[in-house]
């Protein structure tokens, strides 16, 4: 164990606010998040996970992606847990939280840094049992299933408790028996019991269950959830939202935007009421998290629950906030607001099922600026189905007009602000109506982003942000890939570079990105049942291509449209 790592871990523990995790319990679990500490400690899924493990009586320690400055040291020594400095491999079970597809690369790397084989098939019974959960395997478990022994598919509250009951009664070191016995457990997906069949040309024909595991895997969800559990439990001041008590306010979304994976995966919409009182961990702000926080039926009560803290909203939908609510948010010191027009034209916004006229968007921006909000972020996607060059030109025009609309409010307050255009490549996601759509040619996407940057950069009070196009390509392949795509994560991890990893994996990867999937094709996640019917998704894709919108959920009216209620 090296001095530097021990010092950093001690400093982190000393700075954290909240209950320290229990070191001893009926088994030793390591809660793993394959991103840096600052990102991990701002993730509600990860916070829920280590708190739930501790509440169940396990000894719990956390392991995250090491700091860049310490990576060489970890290579020489081993991956160690933050909470007790013990080797992460010295555990009965790892629980790995996967929120983003590209985390699969770091997941593979963390296994290697811990001295464990990244592939499940190459580990023996002496290795900890590796359990993975989170949005990534819930959408498409196949790439993850090559690395983890077990994927837990479902909302944490619904799948973790039965799994822990099973773990208490069965020895994970007797791996073969342990895994075989999971066949009846809700949401337990054991990769070795699901085998893919391919055609001679490499197309996926089927994913077939063996060993008594269900052919169709139900992904359990809870009818309601307790926001006091899905909140920040341990506040790390150096984290991305280090001064904010993040809390989940709703799951699912009534609007069913066709590109949105979380909005579909967590259907039906389930808003939570604010608790009678919220704990305090010495934070300045309350961060309300959900797919459409501004549309929450009890938003006013959530804002009131801030009780003197600043309020931040993870998303604001056009038209969802009244003037009075904007004023309440300003009174609660909302400093920045994010709106997501998604596309530059009303036509393309109808395609993605987020209908709005330019006038409505401009009015919302004007209201935000008049409410003293100085940083207004506008989210756009490029590469959407049916998109044309005119749609991209319209992104520049709309941003410029938003800036002009905001300037009126800013001038009245005597202080100019900034419009931040966040433009990113659209990535088709499993379990959404766009799951059949191709990502497209990465070179074209890169050119389109550069063109937008050139046009937006000269505009005063406007800034453009975008993610790396290479990361987007990796995400597109890992999102939609079958079991063989785990090799891509391993190759990128080995190469330490996306481009080299892609070439080493499959020089013809471009064909995968540009291929249009047909309704008759077998998709790697077709055997999962998240509650939303496939024929509904097909119809929605057809509606999108025809430019037709679908109405929001009609809650409380015995709707059967998508199958989730």
Q: Which is nearer to ligand SF4, 222 or 467 (CB)?
A: 222
Residue with tokens 């001095």: 3
Q: Which is nearer to ligand SF4, 218 or 565 (CB)?
A: 565
Q: Could you tell me the smallest distance in angstroms from the CB atom of residue 553 to ligand SF4?
A: 3
- Helix/strand/coil (H, E, C) string of 371-421? CCCCEEEEEEEECCCCCCHHHHHHHHHHHHHHHHHHHHHHHHHCCCCEEEE
Is there binding between residue 113 and ligand SF4 (CB under 6 A)? Answer: no
Structure token digits, residue 227: 């926001």
Q: Could you tell me the smallest distance in angstroms from the CB atom of residue 539 to ligand SF4?
A: 12
Residue with tokens 């419009």: 419
Q: Could you tell me the smallest distance in angstroms from the CB atom of residue 266 to ligand SF4?
A: 10
Angle at 517 between CA 515 and CA 519, to 5 degrees: 165
Restricted to residues 448-467, the positions that interact with ligand SF4 (CB under 6 A) are none
Q: Could you tell me the smallest distance in angstroms from the CB atom of residue 350 to ligand SF4?
A: 18
Q: Which is nearer to ligand SF4, 301 or 560 (CB)?
A: 560
Cα distances from 100 to residues 31, 191, 289, 465, 549, in angstroms, run: 16, 20, 17, 19, 28
Is there binding between residue 250 and ligand SF4 (CB under 6 A)? Answer: no
**Do 44 and 246 touch, CB atoms closer than 8 A?**
yes
Cα 412 to Cα 194: distance, rounded to the nearest angstrom = 62
Q: Could you tell me the smallest distance in angstroms from the CB atom of residue 551 to ligand SF4?
A: 9
Q: Which is nearer to ligand SF4, 112 or 533 (CB)?
A: 533
Q: Which is nearer to ligand SF4, 80 or 264 (CB)?
A: 264
**Do 370 and 333 touch, CB atoms closer than 8 A?**
no
Q: Which is nearer to ligand SF4, 109 or 540 (CB)?
A: 540
Is there binding between residue 270 and ligand SF4 (CB under 6 A)? Answer: no
Best CA proximity match to 526, nearest among 158, 300, 204: 204
Backbone angles phi, psi at 346, to 5 degrees: -65, -35
Q: Could you tell me the smallest distance in angstroms from the CB atom of residue 100 to ligand SF4?
A: 25
Kindly give the pairing relationship between strand 336-342 and strand 204-209: unpaired
Cα 476 to Cα 428: distance, rounded to the nearest angstrom = 7
Cα 343 to Cα 366: distance, rounded to the nearest angstrom = 19
Cα 409 to Cα 375: distance, rounded to the nearest angstrom = 12
Cβ-proximal residues to 389 (8 Å cutoff; 6+ apart), any chain: none
Restricted to residues 525-564, the positions that interact with ligand SF4 (CB under 6 A) are 553-555, 559-562, 564
Q: Which residues pair with 133 in a beta bridge?
A: 97, 152
Is there binding between residue 565 and ligand SF4 (CB under 6 A)? Answer: yes
Q: Could you tell me the smallest distance in angstroms from the CB atom of residue 220 to ligand SF4?
A: 16
Q: Which is nearer to ligand SF4, 465 or 554 (CB)?
A: 554
Q: Could you tell me the smallest distance in angstroms from the CB atom of residue 85 to ligand SF4?
A: 46
Q: Which is nearer to ligand SF4, 499 or 554 (CB)?
A: 554
Q: Which is nearer to ligand SF4, 62 or 221 (CB)?
A: 221
Restricted to residues 326-365, the positions that interact with ligand SF4 (CB under 6 A) are none
**Do 163 and 131 touch, CB atoms closer than 8 A?**
yes
Structure token digits, residue 68: 């860049």
Is there binding between residue 267 and ligand SF4 (CB under 6 A)? Answer: yes
With CB under 6 A as the rule, give the number of residues binding ligand SF4.
11
Give the other-Cβ count within 10 Å of 559's Cβ: 14
Cα distances from 381 to residues 294, 317, 347, 349, 513, in angstroms, run: 21, 16, 14, 10, 17
Nearest-Å Rg of the Cα atoms of the chain is: 23
Q: Could you tell me the smallest distance in angstroms from the CB atom of residue 224 to ligand SF4?
A: 15
Q: Could you tell me the smallest distance in angstroms from the CB atom of residue 50 to ligand SF4?
A: 31
Q: Which is nearer to ligand SF4, 136 or 562 (CB)?
A: 562
Q: Could you tell me the smallest distance in angstroms from the CB atom of residue 53 to ligand SF4?
A: 31
**227, 268, 287, 385: which one contacts ligand SF4 (CB under 6 A)?**
268
What is the binding site for ligand SF4 (CB under 6 A)?
Answer: 267-268, 553-555, 559-562, 564-565
């Amino acid at each position: 164990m090296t001095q530097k790592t021990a010092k950093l871990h001690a400093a982190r523990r000393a700075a954290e606010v909240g209950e320290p995790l229990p070191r001893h319990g009926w088994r030793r679990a390591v809660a793993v998040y394959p991103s840096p500490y600052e990102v991990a400690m701002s993730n509600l899924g990860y916070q829920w996970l280590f708190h739930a493990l501790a509440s169940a009586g396990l000894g719990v320690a956390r392991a995250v992606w090491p700091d860049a400055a310490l990576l060489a040291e970890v290579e020489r020594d081993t991956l160690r847990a933050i909470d007790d400095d013990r080797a992460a491999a010295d555990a009965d079970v790892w629980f790995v939280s996967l929120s983003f597809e590209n985390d699969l690369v770091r997941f593979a790397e963390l296994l290697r840094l811990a001295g464990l084989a990244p592939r499940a098939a190459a580990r023996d019974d002496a290795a900890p049992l590796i359990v993975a959960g989170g949005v990534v395997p819930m959408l498409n478990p196949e790439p993850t299933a090559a690395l983890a022994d077990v994927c837990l598919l479902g909302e944490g509250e619904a799948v973790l408790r039965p799994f822990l009951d099973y773990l208490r009664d069965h020895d994970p070191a007797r791996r073969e028996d342990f895994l075989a016995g999971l066949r009846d457990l809700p949401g337990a997906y054991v990769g070795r019991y699901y085998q893919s069949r391919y055609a001679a040309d490499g197309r996926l024909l089927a994913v077939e269950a063996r060993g008594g595991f269900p052919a169709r895997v139900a992904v359990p969800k809870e009818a309601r959830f307790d926001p006091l559990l899905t909140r920040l439990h341990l506040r790390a001041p150096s984290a991305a939202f280090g001064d904010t008590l993040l809390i989940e306010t709703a799951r699912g979304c009534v609007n069913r935007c066709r590109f949105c994976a979380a909005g579909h995966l967590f259907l039906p919409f389930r808003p939570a009421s604010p608790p009678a009182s919220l704990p305090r961990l010495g934070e300045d702000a309350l961060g309300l998290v959900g797919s459409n926080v501004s549309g929450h039926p009890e938003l006013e009560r959530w804002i009131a629950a801030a009780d003197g803290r600043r309020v931040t909203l993870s998303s604001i939908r056009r038209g969802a906030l009244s003037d009075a609510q904007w004023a309440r948010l300003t009174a609660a010191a909302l400093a920045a607001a994010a709106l997501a027009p998604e596309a530059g034209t009303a036509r393309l916004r109808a395609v993605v099922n987020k209908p709005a006229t330019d006038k409505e968007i401009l009015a919302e921006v004007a209201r935000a600026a008049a409410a003293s909000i100085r940083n207004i972020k506008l989210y756009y996607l490029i590469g959407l189905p049916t998109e044309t060059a005119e749609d991209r030109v319209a992104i520049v025009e709309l941003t410029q007009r938003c800036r002009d609309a905001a300037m009126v409010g800013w001038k009245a307050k005597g202080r100019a602000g900034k419009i931040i255009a966040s433009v990113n490549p659209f990535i088709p996601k499993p379990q959404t109506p766009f799951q059949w759509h191709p990502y497209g040619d990465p070179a074209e996407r890169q050119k389109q982003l550069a063109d937008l940057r050139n046009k937006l950069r000269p505009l005063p009070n406007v800034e453009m942000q975008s993610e790396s196009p290479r990361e987007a390509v990796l995400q597109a392949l890992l999102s939609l890939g079958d079991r063989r795509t785990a090799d891509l994560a391993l190759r990128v991890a080995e190469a330490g570079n996306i481009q080299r990893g892609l070439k080493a994996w499959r020089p013809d990867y471009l064909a995968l990105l540009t291929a249009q999937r047909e309704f008759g094709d077998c998709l790697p996640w077709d055997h999962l049942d998240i509650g939303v019917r496939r024929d509904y998704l097909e119809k929605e894709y057809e509606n999108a291509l025809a430019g037709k919108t679908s109405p929001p959920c009609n809650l409380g009216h015995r709707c059967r449209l998508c199958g989730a209620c």
